[in-house]
């Protein structure tokens, strides 16, 4: 029996788990630490749930709050480690007032033929965005990336990420229950029926995993994202009204 069947029915996800398993075997046989390509949060959550990988896997993204991360795989206590294959680039636009977006950077990199799995986090910062990539494509990026969007850029390698504080807007929503569709409707400004449609279409993620059940019970600390609408975190319940409705505190990324 294919062990991946225990964890997911999705073909792409099962293929990804098989690749990680192959890397575990490589680490064990060759006495070396090996690294995967970049995984998105949902893939990371899936890999972390696999009991066959317990004790072998560490997730590394280049900085503490990285969203996209590599799997560091060490299946032998005597394994040699040459370091994570992550390169940080800063791209500086020739125009000082340029505003280069996450989409601009990603589009330009993929326009060079680079696969998404080779690109880590992208940190927009006006005319000086930074991005992380797998070292195997770093030389090619350094040679070929001359424009991002419509802006000419000079690309250089950087020693560390120049992090900017993520801003959140605190909110309190008044809802009838902690169901996913109730919280999503209030947080993202839509009807409960519309929120349920998004959920059933697989466009809503809880703790980075897609959830298609509108009645899913949400708890404090859960992170919810809706494709094209944004991200929130449920931070607590402030109280209950006389009619039994809940005052739920959330923070929304802005």
Give Cα 173 distance to the centre of its chain. 26
| Angle at CA of residue 101, ends 98 and 105, nearest 5° | 105
pTM of this structure = 0.74
Confidence bin at 37 (pLDDT 50/70/90): very high
Q: SS3 of 90, please?
A: strand
| Cα-based torsion angle of the residue sequence 241, 244, 246, 247 in order, rounded to the nearest 10 degrees | 0
Say yes or no to pLDDT of 168 above 90: no
The residues with which 106 forms a beta bridge, in sequence order, are none
Mean pLDDT of the chain: 91
- 162 band by pLDDT with thresholds 50, 70 and 90: confident
pLDDT band at 133 (very low <50, low <70, confident <90, very high): very high
Residue 39, pLDDT score: 95
What does the pLDDT read at residue 164? 65
pLDDT on residue 190: 94
Residue 75 has pLDDT above 80, yes or no: yes
Cβ-defined contacts of 100-105 (< 8 Å, 24+): 100/124, 100/126, 100/127, 100/129, 100/148, 100/149, 100/151, 100/153, 101/149, 102/129, 104/129, 104/148, 104/149, 104/151, 105/129, 105/131, 105/148
More confident residue, 90 or 207: 90
pLDDT of residue 64: 81
Averaged pLDDT for residues 43-66: 90
All domains in the chain, ordered by first residue: 3-73 (3.30.1370), 86-158 (3.30.70.330), 168-253 (3.10.290.10)
Mean pLDDT for 44-56 is 91
77-123: pLDDT as tens digits: 888 898 899 999 999 988 888 888 899 999 999 999 999 999 999 99
Give me the residue label for tokens 């000079």. Answer: 154
Bigger pLDDT: 177 vs 207: 177
């Amino acid at each position: 029996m294919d062990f991946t069947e225990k964890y997911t029915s999705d073909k792409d996800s099962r293929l990804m788990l098989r690749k990680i398993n192959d890397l575990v075997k490589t680490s064990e046989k060759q006495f070396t630490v090996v690294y995967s390509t970049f995984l998105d949060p949902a893939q990371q959550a899936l890999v972390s749930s696999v009991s066959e990988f317990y004790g072998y896997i560490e997730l590394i993204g280049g900085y503490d709050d990285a969203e996209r991360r590599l799997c560091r795989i060490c299946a032998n206590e005597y394994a040699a480690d040459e370091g994570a294959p992550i390169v940080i680039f800063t791209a500086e636009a020739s125009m000082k007032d340029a505003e280069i977006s996450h989409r601009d950077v990603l589009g330009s990199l993929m326009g060079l033929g680079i696969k998404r799995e080779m690109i880590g986090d992208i940190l927009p910062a006006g005319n000086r965005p930074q991005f992380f990539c797998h070292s195997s494509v770093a030389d090619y990026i350094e040679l070929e990336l001359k424009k991002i969007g419509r802006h000419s850029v000079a690309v250089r390698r950087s020693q560390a990420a120049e992090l900017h504080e993520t801003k959140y807007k605190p909110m309190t929503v008044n809802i009838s229950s902690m169901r996913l569709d109730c919280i999503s409707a209030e947080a993202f400004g839509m009807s409960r029926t519309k929120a349920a449609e998004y959920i059933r279409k697989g466009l809503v993620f809880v703790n980075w995993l897609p959830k298609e059940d509108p009645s899913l019970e949400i708890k404090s600390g859960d992170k919810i994202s809706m494709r094209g609408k944004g991200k929130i975190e449920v931070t607590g319940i402030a109280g209950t009204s006389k009619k039994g409705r809940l005052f739920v505190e959330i923070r929304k990324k802005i």
